[in-house]
Amino acid sequence: MLPDSVRIVEVGARDGLQNLPTPVSPEIRAQLVDLLSQSGLRHIETGSFVSPKSVPQMAESDQVFQTIYRQDNVVYAALTPNLRGMEDALKAGANEAAVFASASEGFSQKNINCSIAESLKRFEPVMELAKQHNIPVRGYVSCIISCPYDGETTPQQVAEVTKALYQMGCYEVSLGDTVGTGTPLRVKKVLEACNRNVPMEHLAAHYHNTYGQALANIYASLEEGLAVVDSAVAGLGGCPYAPGASGNVATEDVLYLMEGLNIKTGIQMDKLLKAATFICKQLGIRSRSSTGLALKPH
């Protein structure tokens, strides 16, 4: 049975913008976040407190947090790879944090410069500080299907890291098909493996759309009982450490699918399209959302 409602976690202002050739100003990033919140999205990744040498596009995330027009019922989340990141996120007023690990060693090394085990150790004080400040922490597991450096990932590898993040206190673990090579059967196997240790209501789908399979993978995940989906407005994005991987599944496409399935999201398509038009104009690009192009050709 499919869920009655799905929570969409909008990652466009973070995952979407972190891979662009030229950084976008904090003002434009904040405007994007505001347009997204006006569309009814209630969970918005707003920035990353990572090394600006590693990801210059996410520099000045504190200014994005300062500039946004905050709505009471919206979660404004930030990526926090280490204690310094969490301290900065707290100063900036993020009301949720996310730690990110990988199911594969190669990506872990390239992305955060340490092994999987070291990353989990590094997250312990991050979780502790978040707890002291009552900040919920989400966990990410990257490369749930394949890794740009190590090749195929097994469901067991994903399940182990997912369990570790959940046990350390992440209220939800988002499963990242970073490279976007997944297909429904593979994704279901990963979910089944993770679900042996973590209840389905604490798992989320974070699928990149490189091979055009993300919507099919989301549908397969809903069939497994999952009800939280990450997506990026206009299908923006990619990861600086996953060359060739394309953006996240587009929020407009996910919304169209949910509307067709009578699944509630609380998001208004027309307002979401405004956010998409705004950011595509700013970037001088065409939307990567099929729904966006059909409803509002740019």
List residues near Mg ion by CB under 5 A: 15
**Calpha distance 51→219 (Å, rounded):** 35
Question: Which of 243, 219, 237 lies closest to 288, judged by CA?
Answer: 237
Considering the complex, state which of residue 241 and residue 278 has its C-beta at the smaller distance from ligand HMG.
Answer: 241
Q: Is 247 in the site for ligand HMG (CB under 6 A)?
A: no
**Calpha distance 195→221 (Å, rounded):** 12
Residues in contact with ligand HMG, shown as a per-residue x/- string from 71 to 110 under the rule CB under 6 A? --------x-xx-xx--------------x----------
- List CB contacts of 277: < 8 A, sequence separation 6 or more: 296, 298
Q: Smallest gap, in angstroms, from Cβ of residue 296 to ligand HMG?
A: 26
Asked if 108 and 148 count as a contact pair (C-beta separation under 8 A), the reply is no
Q: Smallest gap, in angstroms, from Cβ of residue 107 to Mg ion?
A: 11
Please count the other Cβ atoms lying within 10 Å of the Cβ belonging to residue 78.
29
Q: Is 63 in the site for ligand HMG (CB under 6 A)?
A: no
Q: Is 239 in the site for ligand HMG (CB under 6 A)?
A: yes
Catalytic annotation present for 239: yes
Residue 48 interaction partner, one of Mg ion, ligand HMG, none, beta carbon < 5-8 Å per kind: ligand HMG
Residue 54 interaction partner, one of Mg ion, ligand HMG, none, beta carbon < 5-8 Å per kind: ligand HMG
∠274-31-33 over CA atoms, to 5°?
Answer: 80
Of the residues 143, 147, 239, 280, only one is catalytic, namely: 239
Residues in contact with ligand HMG, shown as a per-residue x/- string from 108 to 147 under the rule CB under 6 A? ---xxx--------------------------x-x-----
Q: Is 205 in the site for ligand HMG (CB under 6 A)?
A: no
Asked if 190 and 197 count as a contact pair (C-beta separation under 8 A), the reply is no
Q: Is 12 in the site for ligand HMG (CB under 6 A)?
A: no
Question: In Å, what is the CA distance from 1 to each residue of 183, 194, 196?
Answer: 20, 19, 19
**End-to-end CA distance of the chain, in Å?**
37
∠218-224-229 over CA atoms, to 5°?
Answer: 35
Which pairing describes strands 43-48 and 75-79: parallel, antiparallel, or unpaired? parallel
Considering the complex, state which of residue 79 and residue 236 has its C-beta at the smaller distance from ligand HMG.
Answer: 79
Q: Smallest gap, in angstroms, from Cβ of residue 207 to Mg ion?
A: 9
Residue 18 interaction partner, one of ligand HMG, Mg ion, none, beta carbon < 5-8 Å per kind: ligand HMG
Catalytic residues: 239
